[in-house]
Structure 1
């Protein structure tokens, strides 16, 4: 079995930060910028990490942006307006999820460029759909394999390479979902499309791209994953979703309330226990690509979100989490700002030091991506 990320993370190449946890993120009065203050976690960092308060904690960030000291916190923001979500969460988002099509040559667009320039990491899903056509119709995987979109894909790769910052990319997320599986092509064609795109990006010098394989992670879909796996040499991060959709009108059979941990666990356990026999390296970092709950009551909704950091501490391969701050229908609404208890729970969770990494850790990540 081939193991390891697309780019090596040998010890000599991993940047290390020694954090003196007591006051590690403090600055003398008048010296901290507004963004530093927004990004600084609470002063009880050491206790949240389970370390003695006087201990130095060595935090590493690999060249594929895997932190050893906590979890990146992010979102797919409603209307692409991450600033509104950040204001309500009283903190910045580490990662912002955007959605584009295989047929779009101008990736990253102005919005992605702006968010990257402001210091956020961008994660773009390149969908097998025509975003330049009304209704965004599906694109058959066969067309991608045959090179029909090579010009656009090469343009995307050059645009991302020109940013010269780490940039997460997924091709056609949720390929295991019922509405996707075997619809745009076979699993084998999905894999061939994925590899074709990665090869094109590499040929154009987009070495700053971090490849994120994203599936639903739903227990009923796990048996589909082996056939959709592109291979360890073509994937840096593993990713799936953690939702509770109780009462969602487009999911009428969803009657059981799932906690964040309930939703996270099946795919995590499958990857750790069964992944290796299918050639999947279980040591790759995990990103919860989307997560959220519908309204399950005031206290329950607040607790669903506020419990997330403690859950993450028990699943050490998870190193990034993004909320899906959107709605499917009026009866299936995951927007954080539309529910005061969701907003409060998300705010409480986001202030936990385990998901609120110091700004200097981000500096490590950016330097790691440039060291090649």
Structure 2
């Protein structure tokens, strides 16, 4: 076959170009393979981590008195100029839920409901030996009649040394028990709902952020990933005083326990179930601290990119041990509005 001069000239030139291209592909092969085998979860977390917290979490709130007066949550929304996606409030031992209150807050399924469940004057073994089965039957019946999911955090802040139900090695707390008894009680309650078809109850394992020596290490009481749907954290900036130490940023407060929790479950979302900061310019149980700023604290919290698995942030809107309210100063309210 005759080859034209143009074709015969192009052939060797094309061959010469193939060598560096092939070499380049061989050099890039390890990186290409790494990309192709990268964990989808890790890649998603990396993308999320580039976004500020305020732009990727659902805002929720507990507003003092809202259980009896749901309009208080609406007042909060108007105050911060932002709709809440989660209503958070508290039920005690003997209360039966979910019911009419949850239906009102759910707003036709447009809002999640997060319930803190005080297990009352019981020990962990009271749940596993069947003593509370009649009560659980009432709760299961209510859950089966409820049309939406409901998130429940039993034994909230169970790791804290200030609660009577703290699981300890010796089981010496009046309403507590040992590490093993806690895990068995948690699993028993969760299985009780699930075995009866109440899968719309989602279980939130919710310690406080505290990790000092007297608290319970969460790994010692972890019931297992099959029994937990959401990882919860409660954390507050108590301010600078002799009891609580120094002023702490949101990141400093959350990071240690966040690491411990997320190590226990590789995929469960993290909800900040209670969070707020004191107002440093006011003597509300801690001395006035003119060097700190709640507005700056809020800005830094809502701007952080450190916690990629955080998907909810529930503000504790109450003047209690400290003035936790977002409107404790004009500056803090402006910061909350602006950075949402």
With normalisation by structure 1, the TM-score equals 0.65
SS of the residue aligned with 1:333?
A: coil
Q: Deviations over 1:287-309 (max 9, x none)?
A: 11111111124871112112223
Residues 195 and 258 from structure 1, CA distance in 2 versus in 1: closer, same or farther, beyond 3 angstroms? same
Q: Tell me, yes or no, if the aligned pair for 1:304 and 1:345 is still in contact at 8 Å.
A: no
Partner of 2:58: 72
Structure 2: unaligned runs, 5 residues or longer: 1-39, 41-49, 67-71, 168-172, 282-289
Q: Among 285, 301, 305, which residue is 2:269 paired with?
A: 285
SS of the residue aligned with 2:332?
A: helix
Partner of 1:190: 182
Partner of 1:239: 232
SS of the residue aligned with 1:108?
A: coil
Residues 223 and 179 from structure 1, CA distance in 2 versus in 1: closer, same or farther, beyond 3 angstroms? closer
Q: CA deviation at 1:189?
A: 2.2
Q: Among 144, 163, 166, which residue is 2:146 paired with?
A: 163
SS of the residue aligned with 1:113?
A: helix
Distance in 2 (alpha carbons) for counterparts of 1:193 and 1:74: 29
Q: CA deviation at 1:49?
A: 4.5
Q: CA deviation at 1:256?
A: 0.4
SS of the residue aligned with 2:255?
A: helix
Residues 111 and 340 from structure 1, CA distance in 2 versus in 1: closer, same or farther, beyond 3 angstroms? farther
Distance in 2 (alpha carbons) for counterparts of 1:155 and 1:70: 36
Structure 1: unaligned runs, 5 residues or longer: 1-10, 12-47, 51-68, 130-137, 352-372
Distance in 2 (alpha carbons) for counterparts of 1:258 and 1:282: 27
Partner of 1:263: 253
Q: How does 1:1-372 map to 2 (within 5 A)?
A: 49=51, 70-80=56-66, 81-104=72-95, 106-118=96-108, 119-129=110-120, 138-180=121-163, 181-182=166-167, 183=173, 184-186=175-177, 187-220=179-212, 224-246=217-239, 252-272=242-262, 275=263, 280-297=264-281, 300-311=293-304, 313-329=305-321, 332-349=322-339, 351=340
Bigger Rg over Cα: 2
Residues 347 and 156 from structure 1, CA distance in 2 versus in 1: closer, same or farther, beyond 3 angstroms? farther
With normalisation by structure 2, the TM-score equals 0.71
Residues 320 and 122 from structure 1, CA distance in 2 versus in 1: closer, same or farther, beyond 3 angstroms? same
Q: Tell me, yes or no, if the aligned pair for 2:218 and 2:260 is still in contact at 8 Å.
A: no
Q: Tell me, yes or no, if the aligned pair for 1:102 and 1:152 is still in contact at 8 Å.
A: no
Partner of 2:17: none
Q: Tell me, yes or no, if the aligned pair for 2:327 and 2:333 is still in contact at 8 Å.
A: yes
Distance in 2 (alpha carbons) for counterparts of 1:204 and 1:344: 48
* Bigger RCO (CA 8 Å, 6+ sep): 1
Q: CA deviation at 1:208?
A: 1.5
Partner of 2:29: none
Q: How many residues in Structure 1 have an aligned counterpart in Structure 2?
A: 266
Q: CA deviation at 1:234?
A: 0.1
